[in-house]
Each structure stands twice: as structure tokens, then as C-alpha cells.
């Protein structure tokens, strides 16, 4: 049983963000922004906004959560999301998470809510196909388009062409933009994007799935990598590779993730002291808990509690 391989070169590239006005984008007025960035900590500031075009995001490592038109969207490794110019979107609770993310914002010549899409003279996609793409994208039930094949290679090629232009680079970049749009449209047309299809796409062995479930249900337990791998019947390297492939995190990072999610639930009740939460979830001290929580959420436990405590628990505090 192998966890599978991915394009390793894409993880080694230097982080780059080509923002509007960057000289690398000058030959491409239809390319508003391009980026590949690995974030070591969650930060606040990704507020709800509109883009001037179609935004495609692809997760290489970690997990990212958006709010799109008021709906929660979570994308995991190997998955992508697509938002349209008229869709209000941003980080969930204005936070952009930890992980490795690639994204591009494409400005069509014309795109309106009835599905009319005109890409422009730069595109090699014919008019009828562009019309079909527009209808597919406007009828998407969710910005989450699920697991997509080859997108990592497309982003890596685009990164290389923009970073070090050579003869034919302009034509190559335009062809890659077309390919991204077609990959997304085909995925939306032929696949479901719920949790079951995610599991099936990864072909997760049942013992891995069971262990991940227990880790989520008992995040405060003193988990050890060797014991987890033994329970799965795998060597530690193979077990770690499977967990990373499915969740975007190493096993121990996944435990931290589970602890943070449980902490959010507990913090909503002001009757539970933060110190109790930290020790119950396996942190060595309340300061350790605070540091880890902020790294993963962009705010402190106290800040999160102040923003999310229910009216009932506020009343309890005043008694």
C-alpha cells in the first residue's frame, strides 16, 4: 500500500506573489494576480471582498477555509476552489490559514451572471466552449470544486514561465490559463465534492480513516506516532505519508488541528476556564496553548472567546 506521489518540485519553489502592476504581468492584462505561497502561521486580515475576475485556488499542503456568499468552504490538499467576480468571499472569520496555497485571478473580457463568458483574444478556447464554461461556472452549487488532477503541474509551469520568461512564454502562459479553466470545468461537470467523494478519490484505507476519526474524537490524548502507526499496521513513514496525503498535515500536526477545533467549541462557554481547556487538550501550559492557538487561528483563546461566546455564557460571567 503506497500513499502515492505528487509533483515534488512544486514544494521547493520560492514563494512568489505577482500582484497587480508587477512587471511580470505586464504582457497579460487578463492576468490580475498570480501567487504561490507557503504560510507557517494563520493570520487575520483576509476580509470579504470581490475580485475583478475568476479566482482559482489550489491547496498543496494544509487546509484553507473560505466564506463565499455566506457559505463555508473548506479545501484540502489536491483540491481547488473557484469564485466568480460577483461573489463576495474571504477567509473564514477573516483568517487565512497555514499551508501551501497557489492561486490565480483571471480577468475575462466579459462575464455576467447569466453565464455569458467572453475570454478575449488571448485565449485559444473557441467561443462556443467559452459559453459552455460560463454556464458551468455560474451553475456551480459551491465554490469548492473538489480534487483535481494535474493542477499542481499547471501552476508550477505558470510560475516558471512568469518568473523566467523565455521565447514563447506569453503563448505558454495563456495556454496554461486555458488549461486551468478547462480542468475546473471538467471537474465541476463530472464529479461530486462532498466528504465521501474526497475519501474515495484518495482511496483512504479503512484503518487510516478509523484512526483519524479517533484522533478527532479524543484530541487531548497523549498520542504517539509509533503507536498510531502500529495500530494502522504500517511503518511510521508510510503512516505519516498517508495522513499527510489525506489531511494536508503530519500526524502530530493533525492532532494539533483537532485540539484547536475542540478548543473553539469549549471556548464558546465562558464557564470553562482557559487553563482547564489547555490541560484537558494536552497542552503543557496555558501559554503553550495560547501560542499554538494563535499560530493556527490568527487570534488568542481570549480573543476568540470574546468574539464567539454565546449570550447565555456572557450572562453567566456577570452573575
Domains defined for the chain, CATH in brackets: 8-199 (2.60.120.10), 205-318 (1.10.10.60)
Report the candidate in 206, 155, 207, 151 with the shortest Cα–Cα distance to residue 183.
151
Q: Is 142 helix (H, G, I), strand (E, B) or coil?
A: coil
Residues 31, 70 contacting (CB under 8 angstroms): no
Q: Give the per-residue pLDDT at 191.
A: 60
Which three three-digit cell numbers place residue 34? 498570480
Q: Is 52 helix (H, G, I), strand (E, B) or coil?
A: coil
Which three three-digit cell numbers place residue 205? 484505507
Q: Is 65 helix (H, G, I), strand (E, B) or coil?
A: strand
Which three three-digit cell numbers place residue 172? 505558454
Q: Give the per-residue pLDDT at 132.
A: 95
Distance CA 53, CA 111 (A): 8
Please identify which residue in the block is written with the cell numbers 466552449: 129
Residues in the chain: 319
* Residue spans of the chain under pLDDT 70: 1-13, 191-203, 310-319
HSE (CB half, 13 Å, CA atoms) of 76? 18
Q: Give the per-residue pLDDT at 1.
A: 45
Q: Is 228 helix (H, G, I), strand (E, B) or coil?
A: helix
Report the candidate in 11, 13, 92, 84 with the shortest Cα–Cα distance to residue 50.
84
Output the DSSP codes for 122-145: T--S-HHHHHHHHHHHHT-S-SEE
Which three three-digit cell numbers place residue 49? 471582498
Report the candidate in 94, 85, 103, 81 with the shortest Cα–Cα distance to residue 46.
94
Q: Give the per-residue pLDDT at 4.
A: 44
pLDDT digits (tens, 9 = 90+) for 279-289: 999 998 999 99
Q: Give the per-residue pLDDT at 278.
A: 92
pLDDT digits (tens, 9 = 90+) for 139-191: 998 899 988 888 999 999 999 999 999 999 999 999 999 999 999 999 988 76
Q: At what angle do helices 236-247 and 225-232 cross, to 10 degrees?
A: 90
Quickly count: other Cβ atoms within 10 Å of residue 135's Cβ. 13
Radius of gyration of the chain (CA): 21
Amino acid at each position: 500500500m503506497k500513499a502515492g506521489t505528487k509533483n515534488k518540485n512544486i514544494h521547493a519553489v520560492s514563494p512568489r506573489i505577482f500582484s497587480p502592476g508587477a512587471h511580470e504581468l505586464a504582457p497579460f492584462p487578463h492576468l490580475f494576480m498570480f501567487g504561490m505561497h507557503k504560510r507557517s502561521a494563520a493570520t487575520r486580515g483576509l476580509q470579504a471582498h470581490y475580485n475583478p475576475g475568476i479566482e482559482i485556488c489550489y491547496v498543496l499542503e494544509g487546509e484553507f477555509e473560505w466564506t463565499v456568499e455566506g457559505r463555508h468552504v473548506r479545501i484540502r490538499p489536491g483540491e481547488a476552489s473557484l469564485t466568480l467576480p460577483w461573489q463576495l468571499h474571504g477567509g473564514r472569520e477573516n483568517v487565512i490559514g497555514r499551508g501551501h496555497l497557489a492561486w490565480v485571478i483571471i480577468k475575462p473580457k466579459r462575464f455576467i451572471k447569466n453565464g455569458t463568458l467572453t475570454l478575449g483574444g488571448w485565449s485559444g478556447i473557441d467561443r462556443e466552449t467559452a459559453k459552455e464554461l460560463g454556464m458551468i461556472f455560474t451553475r456551480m452549487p459551491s465554490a469548492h470544486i473538489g480534487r483535481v488532477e494535474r493542477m499542481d503541474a499547471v501552476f508550477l509551469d505558470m510560475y516558471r514561465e512568469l518568473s523566467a520568461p523565455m521565447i514563447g512564454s506569453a503563448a505558454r502562459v495563456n495556454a496554461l490559463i486555458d488549461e486551468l479553466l478547462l480542468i475546473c470545468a471538467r471537474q465541476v461537470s463530472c464529479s461530486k465534492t462532498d466528504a465521501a467523494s474526497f475519501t474515495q478519490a484518495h482511496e483512504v484505507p479503512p484503518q487510516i480513516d478509523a484512526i483519524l476519526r479517533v484522533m478527532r474524537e479524543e484530541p487531548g490524548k497523549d498520542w504517539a506516532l509509533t503507536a498510531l502507526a502500529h495500530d494502522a499496521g504500517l511503518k511510521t513513514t508510510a503512516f505519516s505519508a498517508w495522513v499527510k496525503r489525506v489531511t494536508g498535515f503530519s500526524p502530530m500536526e493533525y492532532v494539533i488541528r483537532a485540539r484547536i477545533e475542540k478548543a473553539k467549541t469549549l471556548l464558546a462557554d465562558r464557564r470553562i476556564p482557559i487553563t482547564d481547556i489547555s490541560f484537558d487538550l494536552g497542552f503543557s501550559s496555558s501559554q503553550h496553548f495560547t501560542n499554538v492557538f494563535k499560530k493556527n487561528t490568527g487570534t488568542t483563546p481570549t480573543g476568540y472567546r470574546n468574539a464567539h461566546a454565546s449570550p447565555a455564557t456572557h450572562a453567566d460571567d456577570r452573575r
